[in-house]
Amino acid sequence: MAILITIVVVLLVIIGGFYGLFKYKNRLQTPDYFEYYKTQDTKPEGKVGVFATALIMPTDHNHAFFHNIIHKVFKAVVPWPFNILAMKDQGVALLDPAHCHAREEFTPTRLEDAFGNDRNLNGTPYIQLHKEGKVKWVPPSSRIYLDNGYFIYGGRPCGEPSICGKVANKSRLYYYGSGIKQRKLPHWEESFKIINTAFDRLREKYPKVEFQSETNMFFYEMKQKLHGMLDAGCETIILIAPMAIYSHFEEFNSGFRHCFEYIEEWKEKHPGKKVKVIIGPQMGNFQPLRQAFLDMLKDRLDTIPEGKDVTIGVTVHGMPWDAFKWEGWLQLAPAYRDKLFDEVKELVAQYKFGRTNVVHCQDEFADPIWDKEEKFLSTNRAYWNAIKDNYDYAIGLPIEFFAENSDTLMHHAMKCFENFDKYDIDEPIDYPDWSVTYSRELVQGKTHVIYNGVPVGKYQKHVIESFYQACDSVLAQGKA
């Protein structure tokens, strides 16, 4: 009996210890830069530099970009120790270019790795290794809705987590490949057009201020540019992101956190040097950003005949909110999302339509995996509700995006148009002129379902103005 009691006690101690370690390893990151943001002193001192950073996708496929994204996601979202297991190098990730969306095992006809090679290092085709039983099928993730599977060759390591190879390969083959005729994405060019145009105006007003920018997935370039500003004598660094709504995931635990780390690294090499860091406000705090989407929606509504029934989905990216109740986004969203939502309702009321309905919805994570109880409305369900209620039009207004990217054009489209008769994931996007809003319309039953696009071209001036005002609201407090 004593032995049994001892075994039970030891097991309880082990379980308790592991639970304590689990809680410790998965504690919230410190310092919490969202709390810093809310309580900071926003008056610049001395020579000032403004550094803009956000998740901005390159025009052409870049393996390092997607490698870094996967590391970011698994560090920020997936708890320890599961993130360690998921990030193992289990071998070379492979996809069949003709079936890169496959969710069930099939017999491939060609296999390529993330760099486009169809052969192993010794020249043996991967497809031959598959025939020999040396390449195995990996099913889709059970935690990602509508995820695709992939193949893996375990005969050698690939030099990075295999999941990085899977995602980068999907990017190469689809997002920058068969998914779009131009094999390029507008996100980089249009995002930096917003940043650089606002910066040019700010330079005229504040000629002594330094301005730099970089995507927050190119860590080396971020560090070099920030260190360059500090080497140039900047005593205050204003960090800012061209984003409507800040979040822990994108800013406070990613882009801004990296910036603080690089600044601290510089300070360690320059003892005695003081640097004041200010986080500038989100663009959604400023009315012009809302105006961009209101103007776009008005132009769309002007094309709809009187008497028609219209649903408007005011859509955001979305997260699994029940799992991230501490997310700063939840506190910061109302200043933009809710105001714009009310203004959309006011705009729609000015038209002589039949039935009208304006709803909040999200493209991601309001799905059977993360939202089994349907607490949150997915964009897909918002569309299908309109279809089932025989609305004539259902319009999606993606209020968190200002330039088309792989999410808006492809990944979110796959989820938003799920089960639509005329949605074909293999039909490539044709978007040659990035100065013109890209929209798509699918008719399901009697309902015209319309993705209304993002504010480029004639609408972009409002986005630029909002970013300008966000930067200027901090700079104006100093004597720059």
Q: What is the pLDDT of residues 394-448, one digit of tens each?
A: 999 999 999 999 999 999 999 999 999 999 999 999 999 999 999 999 999 999 9
**Residue 16 in this model has a pLDDT that exceeds 70:** no
Q: CB neighbours (10 Å) of residue 465? A: 21
Q: How far is CA 381 from the centre of its chain?
A: 21
What token pair was written down for 125?
């085709």
pLDDT tens per residue, range 249-262? 999 999 999 999 99
pLDDT reported for residue 20: 74
- Give the confidence band of 11 by pLDDT, cuts at 50, 70, 90: low
C-alpha dihedral, 342 to 343 to 344 to 349, nearest 10°: 90
pLDDT attached to residue 10: 59
Confidence (pTM) = 0.96
Long-range contacts of 456-460 (CB under 8 A, 24+ apart): 456/186, 456/190, 456/402, 456/403, 456/404, 459/292, 459/295, 459/296, 460/190, 460/193, 460/194, 460/292, 460/402
**DSSP β-bridge partners for residue 239:** 51, 279
CA distance 106 to 310: 42
Alpha helices in 132-243 (DSSP H): 162-170, 187-205, 219-231
Q: What is the pLDDT of residues 296-315, one digit of tens each?
A: 999 999 999 999 999 999 99
- Check pLDDT > 70 for residue 8: no
pLDDT of residue 18: 57
> Which pLDDT tens digit goes with each residue over 326-338?
999 999 999 999 9
Task: With CA atoms as reference, report the closest residue to 54 among 216, 168, 195, 193.
Answer: 216
* Tens-place pLDDT, residues 311-327: 999 999 999 999 999 99
pLDDT of 7 above 70 = no
CB neighbours (10 Å) of residue 291?
19
pLDDT at position 221: 98
3 state DSSP class of 320: coil
Can you give the pLDDT at residue 14? 67
Please, are residues 73 and 250 in contact by the beta-carbon 8 Å criterion?
no
pLDDT averaged over every residue in the chain: 95
User: Distance between CA 94 and CA 233 in Å, rounded?
Assistant: 48
With a cut of 50, say whether residue 480 has pLDDT above it. no
pLDDT in tens, 160-211: 999 999 999 999 999 999 999 999 999 999 999 999 999 999 999 999 999 9
Q: What is the pLDDT of residue 190?
A: 98
Which one has a higher pLDDT value, 90 or 17? 90
Q: Are 391 and 310 in contact (CB under 8 A)?
A: yes
Give CA angle at 93 (320, 117), nearest 5°: 135
41-97 per-position pLDDT tens digit = 999 999 999 999 999 999 999 999 999 999 999 888 888 888 888 899 999 999 999
* For residues 222-244, average pLDDT: 98
Superfamily of domain 28-58+186-284+464-475: PrpR receptor domain-like (3.40.50.10660)
Residue-range domain boundaries for the chain: 28-58+186-284+464-475, 63-178, 285-459
Give the per-residue pLDDT at 25: 77
Q: What is the pLDDT of residues 128-165, one digit of tens each?
A: 999 999 999 999 999 999 999 999 999 999 999 999 99
Topology of the domain covering 285-459: Rossmann fold (3.40.50)
